[in-house]
Amino acid sequence: MEGLMLARVLRDLAPHLPARTLGWVFPDETTAALLLDGVGNVVFGYRPPQPVLFLSRERLRGEPRSPFQRTLAARARGDLLRVEQLKLDRVVALHFAGESGFVDQAPTRIMFEVTGRNANVLLLEEGEGWDGRILMAAREVTGRRNRFRTIRTGGPYTPPPPYDKPDPRALTQAQATALASVPLGRWREHLDGLGPLLGAELVRRAGLPADAAPGERVPAALDALTSLVADPSVSEGVMQDGAREAARAEKAAALRRALREPLDKRLTLLHNQLADVTRAEAGLDAAHVDREEADLLMAYAAQVPPGASSASLPAFDGSGPRPVALEPQLSAVQNAEKRYARARRREDVYERLAEREPALRGELAETQERAGRLEVASLDDLEALAASLHAERPGKSPYGLRSVTPGGFEVLVGRNNKENATLTHRIGRSTDYWFHAQGYPGSHVLVRTAGKDLSPPDILYAAQLAAAHSKARGGGTVPVDYTRVKFVWRPRGAPAGQVHYTDQKTVWVDAELPPAAAPEA
C-alpha cells in the first residue's frame, strides 16, 4: 500500500473524528479491526509483504489470537481522537483517549508501519511527535535481524526515516519544471507517496510514454498527477501490471541487499586497514622519540645509576637536560635496547602497511564504484551479477572451504578450531601436505596429494591460502610452514586446533587470496 493511498484512507476518516470506539475484533492472526460508531471498521491487515489499511462496513468477528492482539484489545481503548501520517510515508499514528472504569486505561497510540515485508503494528504510550516508549509490538525486531533499528517491548520507538522527496500535493513551480526532463515512468522515484502501482496509474492517466520525458507535455502529466492525488485508485489492468512490477521491485531490493552486504563489509575492512596505516604513521613519531632516548642512554650509560627509575641526560642538540623514564630492574643499556626494539617494530609495521596503502586505496575506490553501480542496477543486471558471484564462490564441504591447486590437488581450509582439528587429525592422510602461517593464529590448510609431491606453484598457492586465512591477512609478506600430515600432532590436553609439528619447510608469500583456483576435475 502506497503513501497516497494511505492519505486517502485518513482523509476519509478524519471528518468523523473524534469517534467513539465500540471494540476490537480479530478475523485472523494478522488482522485487527476497530469498530467506530457511525463509521464502520478500521481494518489493519499487517501480514507481510502486503499490509493494508482500509475502512469497511462489513460485519467482522473474531477473538484475539495472540498476546499482542489481547494487549491491543485491552489497552487501545476510549475515543479515537485523531489520525496522522508521517509526511506521505507508510507510517500512520492513531491516538486513543483512554477510558475510566473498573480498570482505568491510559491514553495510547497505535503506530501502523505499512512497509511491505517489514510491516508492523505497535502500541505506544501517548505523546506528541513520532517518538515514544513501546508497550508491545506485533513483531519484535532484534539487533540480529536489523542492526540499524530495533523494536522491543519497553524500548524506545523511532519511526523509519521518511523519504526526502517533494510532496505531490504541494508541488512548487520549480519542482514541477524539474520533472519535465524526467521520464514519466520514473516520476515515482522523485515524488513522495508514489510506488509502482500509482506510478503505473500516473502513466495511464497522462496517456504519455513511460520511458520518455514529458517535455512540453508536462501540463498533461501534472494534470494526471493532480487527479491521482485527489483519487489514488488504480485500474484493474494497472493493478495486474503494477503487481508484477512490485514483485520485481521487491526481488530487486532483496538481491541488492544481499549483494551490498559483502561490499559493505569489505568497505569497513578497507577503511579499518587504512586507519591502521594512519596509526602506524603516527607511531613513527613515537619510534623517533624511542631512538633518541636510546641513543642518549647508550651515550651516557656510565652516568645512569643502577636501579634508577628515571634519569636526566644532556640532549645532543644542546637544549638542556632531557628526562628519560627507566625500568629500574634493567640496566641503562638494556633500557636502550628495549627502546631500539620497540622503534624497529613500529617502523617495520609502518613500512609493511605503507607498501599496501596504494593497493588499499585503489581497492577502496573500486569497491565504492561497485557499490554505486549496484544501487542503480536493474533486476536483470542484479540477477546476472548474483549468478556470476555464485559461480565464482569456492565450493564448501562438511570439512572446510574447498579449492583446487593449479596442479589439480584438492585443498581444504579449516574455518574454525573444530574444522582445523578435523582436517588435520581425521581427514588428512599421513602423506598429505599441511600448511599454516608461521607465528599467527589461522586456518589449517590441507592439500590432499595421495602421496605425490607438490610442485612450486601448488606450494605457493596453498601457502597463500594459509596466509590469507590467518591473522596476518593484509600484512604484507608472511612466512608459511608446510610439512606432511604425519609430522603434525596434537599435544596431550591441548584444545582443538592446537598442534605441534616438525620437518617443516618455510616459504614467504603475500597474505592475500591467490588467483582463482583451477576448475575441479
DSSP secondary structure letters along 68-124: HHHHHHHHS-S-EEEEEESTTSSEEEEEE--B-SSS-B--EEEEEE--GGG-EEEEE
Q: Quick check: 237 pLDDT over 70?
A: no
Q: Which of 234, 250, 279 is the last residue in one of the domains?
A: 234
Cβ within 8 Å of residue 156, ≥6 positions away = 131, 132, 133, 134
User: Is 274 part of any domain?
Assistant: yes
Confidence of residue 504 (pLDDT cuts 50, 70, 90): very high
What is the residue range of 92's domain? 3-157
Pair 24, 135 in one domain: yes
CATH no. for residue 52? 2.30.310.10
Compute the average pLDDT of residues 496-502: 90
Confidence of residue 521 (pLDDT cuts 50, 70, 90): very low
Decide which of 499 and 395 is more confident: 499
Pair 464, 368 in one domain: no
User: Is 257 part of any domain?
Assistant: no
pLDDT of residue 264: 87
Q: Are 222 and 206 in contact (CB under 8 A)?
A: no
Compute the average pLDDT of residues 295-304: 91
Compute the average pLDDT of residues 225-241: 79
Pair 147, 18 in one domain: yes
pLDDT tens readout for residues 421-458: 989 888 889 999 999 999 899 999 999 988 888 999 89
Pair 370, 398 in one domain: no
Q: Quick check: 65 pLDDT over 60?
A: yes
Which residue in 11, 159, 10, 139 sits closest to 67, CA to CA?
139
Burial of 347 per CB tally in 10 Å (0-12, 13-18, 19+): middle
Pair 9, 153 in one domain: yes
Mean pLDDT taken over the chain? 87
User: Is 149 part of any domain?
Assistant: yes
pLDDT of residue 519: 37
pLDDT tens readout for residues 389-415: 665 554 445 667 888 888 888 999 998
Q: Are 196 and 234 in contact (CB under 8 A)?
A: no
User: Is 241 part of any domain?
Assistant: no
Pair 420, 373 in one domain: no
C-alpha separations of 107 from 41, 48, 96, 125, 398 in Å: 20, 28, 6, 7, 56
Q: Quick check: 243 pLDDT over 90?
A: no
pLDDT tens readout for residues 121-167: 999 999 888 899 999 999 998 877 777 788 999 999 988 887 888 99
Cell of 450: 595421495
pLDDT tens readout for residues 29-64: 999 999 999 999 999 999 988 899 999 999 999 999
Cell of 204: 495511464
Q: Are 296 and 313 in contact (CB under 8 A)?
A: yes
Q: Looking at the 3D structure of the chain, how many domains does it have?
A: 4
pLDDT of residue 85: 92
pLDDT of residue 176: 84
Compute the chain's Rg from CA coordinates.
Answer: 34
Q: Which of 157, 186, 205 is the last residue in one of the domains?
A: 157
pLDDT of residue 390: 61
Confidence of residue 517 (pLDDT cuts 50, 70, 90): very low
Q: Which of 212, 234, 256 is the last residue in one of the domains?
A: 234
pLDDT of residue 238: 56
3-class DSSP assignment, residue 214: coil
Distance between CA atoms of 208 and 189, rounded to whole angstroms? 17
Pair 26, 142 in one domain: yes
Compute the average pLDDT of residues 314-340: 91
pLDDT of residue 244: 67
Compute the average pLDDT of residues 363-370: 89
Compute the average pLDDT of residues 287-309: 91
Compute the average pLDDT of residues 177-198: 87
pLDDT of residue 136: 94
Q: Is the peptide bond before 262 cis (omega within 30 degrees of 0)?
A: no
User: Is 517 part of any domain?
Assistant: no
User: Residue 53: how many CB atoms within 10 A of its CB?
Assistant: 21
Which residue in 196, 14, 44, 195 sits closest to 114, CA to CA?
44
- What share of the chain in percent tops pLDDT 70? 94
Pair 9, 134 in one domain: yes
Pair 12, 138 in one domain: yes
Pair 372, 304 in one domain: yes
Q: Quick check: 518 pLDDT over 50?
A: no
Element containing residue 133 per DSSP (H, E): strand 132-137
Q: Quick check: 216 pLDDT over 60?
A: yes
User: Is 488 part of any domain?
Assistant: yes
Would you say how long the chain is, in residues? Answer: 521
Distance between CA atoms of 223 and 184, rounded to whole angstroms? 13
User: Is 16 part of any domain?
Assistant: yes
Pair 8, 83 in one domain: yes
pLDDT of residue 520: 42
Pair 12, 143 in one domain: yes
- CA dihedral 260→264→270→276, nearest 10 degrees, is -170
3-state DSSP percent of the chain in helix, strand and coil, to 5: 45, 20, 35
User: Is 240 part of any domain?
Assistant: no
E strands within 159-259?
none
Half-sphere exposure of 263 (CA within 13 A, CB side): 20
Q: Of the given ranges (67-71, 232-236, 246-250), which has the lowest mean pLDDT? A: 246-250
